[in-house]
Amino acid sequence: MTAQDNISPPRALLLKVFLPFAGGYFLSYLYRTANAIISPDLVREFDLGPGDLGLLTSSYFLTFALFQLPLGILLDRYGPRRVNAGLLMLAGAGAALFGLAQSLPALIFARALIGLGVSGCLMSSMKVFTLWFPLNRLATLNGWLLSFGGLGALSASKPAEELLRVANWHSVFLLLALLTFVAAGAIFLAVPERAAQRAPQSLRDSWRSLPLILRNANFWKLGLIVIAGQGVFMSLQSLWIAPWLKDVAGLARAEIGTHLLMAALGMTAGAALWGSVADWLARRGVDTVKVVLGGVGANLLILALLAAGVTRGTLAMMFALTLFGQVQPLVYAILSKEFPLELSGRVISTLNFLVFLSAFAVQWGTGLIINLWPVQAGRYAQAGYATAFGACVALLLVPYALLLLSRRPNPAAD
């Protein structure tokens, strides 16, 4: 009997396959957002300007992005078990180096190594689920997996703030390194091996499919709103929202931890909510693109409030920012239907590459803009945040307006 013949996932498979891979994805999101809570320590210890802080934290996204294109080929050729376990060993080494680092270049190198090491956690998990679980359970398992990511972001908020009361950030990262090595070992030793039924795509064939994707007008019309939107979303959530709360809203670390907790809860709720909402509305004739436009419109409003320096109701704003920020990934499912089935994986990996490249550019660029104003009493200037966050609004507003205009009926066609 194959996994596809099962009605529901056996408990043993959930323990042996799902949990090890979900644990890796949990760690990937914890690493992604960890710098938000420790940024004051990094700034103080290494005398970092906003440009330095942006480059340091965004280096995670650069290596993550660059590895997306070869990742699919490696997963097909060597299998998700070996690829993800090997990559997580690199992430563990990166975390250990980060905890021991004594200079900015060492921090950047270690952070980049972490980004490379966790770059396969999501895709390898989805790949291994298709090998071991019934097709009619994949949507549920993928939803559970995304929830583990939300828990990782949640752990980097209030729980991390509490841990930092009794341990310094160096010790925390050394502990994370140990946990990452354990996760890699669990995947390699506990997860059974199962080969894919189709032959792996060659590197040459993979590259040949890219022009077809990049020449598709809908890829850009729909994809740009995700590339810009997720770039802004990840840039703020994983770093810049915490310094904004300190420097503009005037909050202490304990309050910032609570706000990051609300952001993590909003992200987790959004991940679970928007797919169901879109499917429910689609059954009633509402186009999913309209759901995306509505959610991004709300996201733009919240970003504008942050750019304007509004500091009332910040807890609600944090929750809403990440809740509506999670509507953009609906575009992945829409775009998958625009291409032949055999290209769907390449479409997603190409879009993922551009999304994380955008996150790198936006996060670093935000720091460079804030750096144009002098630091006063250990705080970055409010005018710098206003300009940088305003640029984020403009970056998202352009593809939003283009998509909105493209949806309007053409009177000349009547």
- Residue ranges of domains in the chain, CATH in brackets: 11-193 (1.20.1250.20), 204-407 (1.20.1250.20)
Distance CA 95, CA 59 (A): 14
Instruction: Report, as an integer, the average pLDDT of 361-367.
Output: 97
Q: Burial of 382 by CB count in 10 Å (0-12 exposed, 13-18 middle, 19+ buried)?
A: middle
Neighbours of 331 (CB within 10 A): 24
What does the angle CA 391 – CA 394 – CA 398 come to, to the nearest 5 degrees? Answer: 150
Question: How would DSSP label each residue in 301-348?
Answer: HHHHHHHTT--TTHHHHHHHHHHHHTTTTHHHHHHHTTS-GGGHHHHH
Q: Which one has a higher pLDDT value, 338 or 167?
A: 167
Average of per-residue pLDDT values in the chain? 89
Distance CA 226, CA 220 (A): 10
Tell whether the model's pLDDT for residue 347 goes beyond 70. Answer: yes
pLDDT for the residue 202: 60
| Contact of 158 with 261, CB cutoff 8 Å | yes
Instruction: Report, as an integer, the average pLDDT of 30-42.
Output: 95
pTM over 0.85: yes
Residues in the chain: 414
pLDDT for the residue 13: 80
Neighbouring residues of 240: CB distance < 8 A, sequence distance ≥ 6? 54, 363, 366, 367, 385, 388
Cross-strand partners of 379: 376
Neighbouring residues of 286: CB distance < 8 A, sequence distance ≥ 6? none
Report which DSSP code applies to 379: B
Distance CA 277, CA 327 (A): 10
Among candidate residues 40, 29, 244, the one with its CA nearest the CA of residue 150? 29
* Continuous segment of H or E residues that includes residue 278: helix 253-282
pLDDT for the residue 342: 64
Gyration radius (Cα) of the chain, Å: 21
Distance CA 179, CA 80 (A): 20
Instruction: Report, as an integer, the average pLDDT of 126-150.
Output: 79
pLDDT band at 336 (very low <50, low <70, confident <90, very high): confident
pLDDT for the residue 9: 59
Distance CA 153, CA 355 (A): 19
Tell whether the model's pLDDT for residue 264 goes beyond 80. Answer: yes
| Contact of 258 with 158, CB cutoff 8 Å | yes
Tell whether the model's pLDDT for residue 200 goes beyond 70. Answer: no
State the alpha helices, DSSP H only, in 135-168. 138-155, 158-163
Q: Which two tokens stand for residue 284?
A: 């009633």
pLDDT for the residue 115: 97
Coil vs helix vs strand at 376: strand
pLDDT for the residue 414: 39
Distance CA 322, CA 366 (A): 18
Distance CA 184, CA 191 (A): 11
pLDDT for the residue 283: 85
Neighbouring residues of 99: CB distance < 8 A, sequence distance ≥ 6? 169, 170, 171, 172, 173, 174, 176, 177
Distance CA 53, CA 161 (A): 19
Q: Which of 67-71, 203-207, 246-250 comes out lowest in average pLDDT?
A: 203-207
